[in-house]
Structure 1
Amino acid sequence: MFLTNENLFELTGRRTKSKQIEALLRMRLPFWINAIGRPVVAIAAVEGRNEAPKEKPWVMPRVSRGT
């Protein structure tokens, strides 16, 4: 249902949580942040299916991005 840590690395090209989040934001892929601060991406979101969870994805507030 969700990308593995290795899948997320392959998708973003980044290993650190903050850099993965930056890459996902640039890609405009919906994601959530789990309890340990890691981005969580539904496989359906990457495959472009309409089966992605209907909950609103987590979005980093502008102030947190340093802009």
Structure 2
Amino acid sequence: MTEMFLSSSELVVLTGRKIKAKQIEALRRMGIAFFVNAAGRPVVARLVVEGGKQVPVRQAWQPRVLAT
């Protein structure tokens, strides 16, 4: 059975970064859906990368006053 989430080493290969803040930055630039766990590490579902079901990427919250 395959794991549900990418391993730490797979995240390093995917992002090209070892530091978790840099991994998060790279995932955002690539448009890959992820969440940050309690340890501050990015978590990516394997289905997102392997081309399975599409997961929508949430946009950052912005107050209506600043919306154009």
TM-score greater than 0.5 by the shorter chain: yes
Is the Cα–Cα contact under 8 Å of residues 5 and 43 in structure 2 kept in the other structure?
Answer: yes
Q: Could you list the runs of 5+ residues in structure 1 that have no partner in the other structure? A: 63-67
- Normalised TM-score (structure 2): 0.74
Matched AA of 1:13: G
Q: Please tell me the root mean square deviation across aligned C-alpha atoms, in Å.
A: 2.3
Q: Could you list the runs of 5+ residues in structure 2 that have no partner in the other structure? A: 63-68
Larger Rg: 2
Label 1:2 to 1:10 Cα distance change in 2 as closer, same or farther (>3 A): same
Give the number of equivalent residue pairs.
59
1:32-62 deviation line (CA, Å, top 9, x unaligned): 000100000000000110176xxx7666668
- Normalised TM-score (structure 1): 0.75
